[in-house]
Amino acid sequence: MRSFKTFQSSCKNVPACISRAMMIMFLLVSTHMFINAQATLSLQGILKKANGIALEDDTYPITFKIYVVDSTQVKWMETQPEVEVISGIYSVILGKVTPLNLPFDKDYELGISIGSQEMRPRVKLTSAPYALALRGSTNQFPSAGQVLADEIKVAQGVLASGGAPGTNGVDKNGYAFTGNNGDNDSGLFSTADGKASLYSNNVEILSVTPGMATVIGDLKTNNLDINNNGTVKYNGISDWRLADVDDFSSSHDGWKQYNNMTSGTTYSFSEFPCLCNFGTFIGNVLEPSLNTLVLKKEYDIPGSWTQMKVKFKYIYVDSWDLVDQDRSYAAFASNASGGNVKLGWSALGQVNQSAYGSHFAGEPTYYDYELDVEMTGRRNSNDSKFWVYIGALLNQTTLESYAIGPVEIWVK
């Protein structure tokens, strides 16, 4: 390499010699789209002495610095120790020595030094280098950092990383919001194949899968509230909701037969009543082994509610006598032993003397008949449990019986 002193002897002030004669012929950006590849900037120029003669052919150490326009702060710098100059022309690739990691979101200018002094004026980077970052008056797409855009239109769709947002969006997944009071851990995310979810403050509140949408929490729309505690309200008023069903399709569904209203002891021969089938339109029912036995069951209905309603089918079997005050009844209680028992429904029975009748069970000479029953009660404080009793008060132990069909429990 030609010594720098020899070059100085041919021109006493190197920067002054070449500052006005130096021209940037063109700038070309090469952005490599490989993993961990760094952006580079191709630069070609010409160096001449003050007399207009090109600098002698040789290799020279040249330092390149990039500044924000009209400032003294160096944003990037590298020295290339052996830059070949032929007929005054040199060509370099900036970023080979020091990574060119500027965001290119401002106006920059390039300073060039041979020796200790920097040539003047600096060269303002023109549009070509900004291929590293697209910049408009309001739209900015830097090579790193935040992207600013007035509007985005994508022809082939946008893909985001799957997964939950993480607190304050730390995991950088999905579609969230920031700025203007936006929330970067609230938005649309996908945590599994075939699933899209809405998150609020990093908590999933709505998930959608093929054939199903699930709300985690309460759903409210146009005065209709569907709460996750099971309550349904319209205009602030709770409506009845079905909480439990015993259809006796294959079992007793927890119902047992007890000796009487106030006895907590089940019938000694069998604690379960007969699971009988009464034929078309009736189906399976429960019929006690003796007509003096009481059918009882405890229900436990969680959630928020203040009233309960029991709907069931009561079936009168054989010769109920109105004159003998044969009576059917149902009641609420706190336990199996008649604690706090409250009669909720009662009716006198009589023989079905209609011209249209049907025999379900018992004596074939009597028509049997059914009655849809409904009784209501209030919740006992915050206790979610209550008992339901169903029975009969009959004047004889034979030729009179009862059965119950499907039982529904409603609350509000």
Q: What is the full DSSP assignment across 208-247?
A: EETTEEEESS-EEETTEEE-TTS-EEETTEE--EEEEEE-
Residues 347, 390: Cα–Cα separation, whole Å: 12
Instruction: Say which residues have a Cβ less than 8 Å from residue 252's Cβ, sequence separation at least 6.
Output: 272, 273, 275, 286
Q: How far is CA 233 from CA 214, 216, 219, 332, in A?
A: 19, 17, 10, 26
Residues 330, 374: Cα–Cα separation, whole Å: 9
| Predicted pLDDT of residue 127 | 60
Instruction: Say which residues have a Cβ less than 8 Å from residue 371's Cβ, sequence separation at least 6.
Output: 313, 314, 315, 316, 328, 347
| Residue among 400, 370, 398, 402 at smallest CA distance from 389 | 402
| Residues composing the chain | 412
Whether the pTM exceeds 0.85: the reply is no
Q: Residue 392 corresponds to which amino acid?
A: A
User: Is domain 243-411 annotated with CATH 2.60.120.260?
Assistant: yes
| Residue among 214, 254, 227, 246 at smallest CA distance from 412 | 227
Are 364 and 399 contacting, i.e. CB atoms less than 8 angstroms apart?
no
Spell out the per-residue pLDDT of the chain, length 412, in tens: 544 433 443 344 444 444 434 444 344 444 443 334 467 888 888 887 778 888 899 999 999 999 999 999 999 999 999 999 999 899 999 998 999 888 877 889 999 988 888 888 888 887 655 555 566 667 777 767 777 777 777 777 777 888 888 888 888 888 887 767 778 888 888 888 889 988 988 899 889 899 888 888 777 777 777 776 667 777 777 889 999 999 999 999 999 999 999 999 999 999 999 999 999 999 999 999 999 999 999 999 998 899 999 999 999 999 898 888 999 999 999 999 999 999 999 999 876 665 566 778 888 888 889 999 999 999 999 999 999 999 999 999 999 999 999 999 999 9
Residues 263, 391: Cα–Cα separation, whole Å: 13
| Predicted pLDDT of residue 28 | 41
Q: How far is CA 327 from CA 95, 211, 323, 330, 400, in A?
A: 100, 50, 11, 10, 11
- CATH top-level class for 4-141? mainly beta
- Quick count: other Cβ atoms within 10 Å of Cβ 35? 5
What does the block give as tokens for 13?
């002030």
| Predicted pLDDT of residue 93 | 93
Q: Per-domain residue ranges for the chain?
A: 4-141, 167-215, 243-411
What does the block give as tokens for 55?
């600098």
Residues 364, 373: Cα–Cα separation, whole Å: 25
| Residue among 360, 262, 259 at smallest CA distance from 317 | 360
- Quick count: other Cβ atoms within 10 Å of Cβ 393? 16
| Predicted pLDDT of residue 187 | 85
Residues 328, 346: Cα–Cα separation, whole Å: 6
Cβ-count burial of 159 within 10 angstroms (0-12 exposed, 13-18 middle, 19+ buried)?
A: exposed
Q: How far is CA 186 from CA 46, 178, 212, 399, 403, in A?
A: 55, 9, 22, 70, 56
What does the block give as tokens for 297?
């069951």
| Predicted pLDDT of residue 134 | 61
Q: Which residue's entry shows tokens 């004596």?
A: 363
